[in-house]
Structure 1
Amino acid sequence: MILQANNYYNLASSQLFPFNITNISTSNNGEAIDLATHAYHFVLKENYSEAIETYSKAIQQYPEQPFFYACRSILHNFNGDDESAYYDYQIAKRVDFNYHHYLEWLENQGEMVESPELVELNAAIQSQTENAQLFINRAMLQVQHFNYAEAISDYSNAFVLNSDVNILISRAAIYMYILQYDKALADLDLVTESNPSVQAYLYRAKLFMAIKEFDLALRDFDVALQLDSSDVSIYEERAQLYENIEQFDKAIADYSTIINANKDDFYAYVLRADVYEKTHNWKEAISDYSEAIRLNPYYSDLYQYRATLFEKTGDSESAAADFAKFEELEDED
C-alpha cells in the first residue's frame, strides 16, 4: 500500500527521532521529512539548540503532526526541561497514543533484571532451540518490561520456526508501539492476505486510525465484523473512530450494540454517556451515568461526571449530592 503523501505514516516510519540510530533515506518524501532530517543532523552534531529550533519551525508548519512534538519533548527531557518536555509529550499523546508508548519505552527500556522467569526461559530455549512457543513466551515477558527490540527478535525467531502468520500480529503490535508503522503494516498486510483474521483486520484498522486514514480503517472494521459480528472489541474501536470524525450517531449505535451484548458492563455506559454529552444530550448522558453508577457505585469519578451534567440542566440539588458523594469516596481512598 502506498502512503507517500501521509506525513503521520512517513514521519513515524522514518525513525528520525533524536538519539535513535536509523538509516537516512535519500528518497524525497516532502518538506516534513526534510525538516525531520535537518533536525536529526543537528542532534548528531550535538547542536541541540538548533535542533529544537528546527522542531519548533516544523511545529509551526505542521502543528497537527505528533512526530515533531515528540522529538522536541525528547530533547527538552535531555536538557532537563521537564515542564516543556511534558507539554510536548501531552500534545503528541493526544494526537496519537502510540507516541505515549514510544516515549514510555524510551524512559523504561532495559529495566528488566534477570528475573526467575527470564532465567528459566533462557535455559529452556538453549536446550529446545526449535520450540517456537518458548520464544513467544519470552517475547510476551519482554514486552511487560519494555524490552521491545528483544520481543520483536523473539517473535521473529518464533515465526521462522513455526510459520504461523498470527505471530506477525503480535510483532506488528510492538512495531506500532515503537512507531515503526511501515513494518507493522507489512506484517498485517501479510496476515490479511494469507490468513484473514479478526485480530489482523482490527490491528490494521487501529494503525490506519493512528495515521488518520479513516476510510481505510472503516473498511477493515467492516471486514472484521463480517468475520465475527459478535466481537464487541470491533464495535468499541469503530465507535472511537466515529467519535474522532464526529459521526456521533454512529458512535452511539456502536456503543449501544456493546451494551445490548453485555448490560452489566458499566464502562460501555460511560463511553456512550460521553458521546451524548458531546451532542449536548444531557438527559441521555445522565441516564447512562446513573446506570453506570448502579453497576459500579464505588467509582467516584462517575458521581463527578454526573454532577457536572446536573449543573448544566439546572438541577443544583442533585449536583450537590453527587459532588458530596464524590468527595466522600475520594476521602475513603
Structure 2
Amino acid sequence: MSNNKGLNKIFSFFGKKNEEQEELEVQPVYISELTKAVQEAMWMSTEEEQKQAFRLLADKLEDDLSDIDNLSQIEQADYFQNGGFVFAMLGDNEKAIEYYSRTIDISGDSAYAYLGRASAYRNLEEFQKAVIDYKRAIVMEPDNADLYCHLGATYLRMGVLDEAIANYDKAIEINPYSAVNIAGRAAAYLANGEPEKALSDYDEAIDLEPFDPELFYGRANVHFLNKDYAKVIADCDEAIEINPSEGKYYYIRANALLESGNIEEAIDSYTIAIEHEPQASLFYYGRGQAYVAKGEKDKALADLEKCKTLDETNRQQVEEIINKMNMN
C-alpha cells in the first residue's frame, strides 16, 4: 500500500531459506482483473483520459453490484476496495465511503480501506471520523509513515497544530527522506507561528524534491510572512518555471511586487493569475488594490465589483474600499 516505510521493510531477513520459504516465494501473487483495470486507468496519459477510464469503471461497478453475492468473500472485498478508490478518484466521496465501508464490513482488517475512507471523510470535512479511521489504520500498520502524514494533515486542517506536528514528526522519524512529510510539518509550523522552523523544513524538502513547485510556493509564503519580498518573488519564479499554469504562484508573486512598490509588474502578475483562474475572487481583489495604488479608479472598481460577485464573503470589505474610493 505504501512505499513510505523505510528500509527496514525492504530487507526483513538475511540467511539461508528453508524449503517452506522457497515454496512460498514461487507462489504467484493474485491480482484481480478489476485491480488491473484500475491500474490501467491510473496509467492513462492525460487527466481527461484517466477520468473517462474511471467513469467507465464506476458505471461497471454499479452495474455489476447486483451479482456481488456470486463472488467469494475475498473477491467481494477486492471489489469494494477497488470501487472505493475509483469513486475517490472521481471526487465522489460519499460513494467512496460507502464502498470502503463494505470492504471493512467484509474483511475488517484492511488498513488500505481505513485509509481510503479516512481520506474521503477528510475531503468532506468530517474530520473526527477521519481521525478515527486513520488511527485504526495505524494500529494495523504502525510503521507506515504515510498514515501518520495523513493524520498530521487532518489535524492541520482542524487547527490542532500540536497533534499535526507530532504526527509529522513520527512520519519523518520513520521516513526522513520524504519531502511530503517534511513539507507537511513545515506548513504546520507556519500555522503555529514558527516561521523559522517552517523555513528550515521547506529548505530541506526542496533539497529532496527540487522540481516540486508546491515546495517553492510553500517557502514563498514563509518569506512573505517575514516580509522578505525579494525571496518571495524568487521562489515564485522557480515555481512558475516548473509549472507555469498555476494561478496562485502569480498571485503571491504579485502580492510581493505590490508590497515592494512595483505596481505595474504587480498588475501584470495579477492579470496572468486571473487568466489561469478567472473565477478566483482574491486575484481580482489583489489587482483591484494595485489599481487603487496606481490611481486607476475605474479599473479598480471593476475588479473589486468582480471580486464581490464571485465571493459574497468579501462583500463588506470590498464595499468599504469602494466607499473610500468614491469619497475621494
Give the residue type in structure 1 aligned to 2:109.
Answer: E
> For the residues of structure 1 that align with 2:132 and 2:236, how far apart are their CA atoms?
38
TM-score with structure 1 setting the length: 0.57
Give the residue type in structure 2 aligned to 1:149.
Answer: Q
| Aligned with residue 125 of structure 1, among 86, 90, 104 | 104
Asked if 1:158 corresponds to 2:137, the answer is yes
Give the total of aligned pairs.
216
Give the residue type in structure 1 aligned to 2:223.
Answer: Y
Give the residue type in structure 2 aligned to 1:234.
Answer: L
Partner of 2:202: 221
> For the residues of structure 2 that align with 1:218 and 1:331, how far apart are their CA atoms?
36
Higher relative contact order (CA 8 A, sep 6+): 1
TM-score with structure 2 setting the length: 0.58
Structure 2: where are the runs of 5+ without partners?
A: 1-93, 312-328
Give the stretch that moved more between structures: 296-305 or 204-213: 296-305
> For the residues of structure 1 that align with 2:291 and 2:160, how far apart are their CA atoms?
45
Asked if 1:176 corresponds to 2:156, the answer is yes
Asked if 1:239 corresponds to 2:223, the answer is no
CA distance 1:281–1:148, change in 2 (3 Å) = same
Asked if 1:192 corresponds to 2:172, the answer is yes
Structure 1 vs Structure 2 CA RMSD = 2.9
Q: Report 1:34-53 matches (<5 A).
A: none
Q: Report 1:1-333 matches (<5 A).
A: 117-162=96-141, 163-196=143-176, 197-295=178-276, 302=283, 305-314=286-295, 316=296, 319-321=297-299, 323-324=301-302
2:282, 2:307 within 8 Å by CA — same for their partners in 1? Answer: no
Of all paired residues, the percent bearing the same amino acid is 26
CA distance 1:176–1:312, change in 2 (3 Å) = closer
Q: State the Cα distance separating 1:217 from its structure 2 match.
A: 1.2
> For the residues of structure 1 that align with 2:168 and 2:306, how far apart are their CA atoms?
48
Give the residue type in structure 2 aligned to 1:225.
Answer: I
Q: State the Cα distance separating 1:198 from its structure 2 match.
A: 0.8
> For the residues of structure 1 that align with 2:285 and 2:166, how far apart are their CA atoms?
44
> For the residues of structure 1 that align with 2:187 and 2:281, how far apart are their CA atoms?
31
> For the residues of structure 2 that align with 1:320 and 1:146, how far apart are their CA atoms?
40
Q: State the Cα distance separating 1:326 from its structure 2 match.
A: 6.8
TM-superposition CA deviations, 1:309-332 (whole Å, max 9, x none): 344334x4xx52564577589889
Q: State the Cα distance separating 1:283 from its structure 2 match.
A: 2.0
TM-superposition CA deviations, 1:242-261 (whole Å, max 9, x none): 11111111111111111222
Give the residue type in structure 1 aligned to 2:298.
Answer: A
Q: State the Cα distance separating 1:161 from its structure 2 match.
A: 2.0
CA distance 1:156–1:294, change in 2 (3 Å) = closer
SS at structure 1 position matched to 2:233: helix
Q: Which has the larger radius of gyration?
A: 2
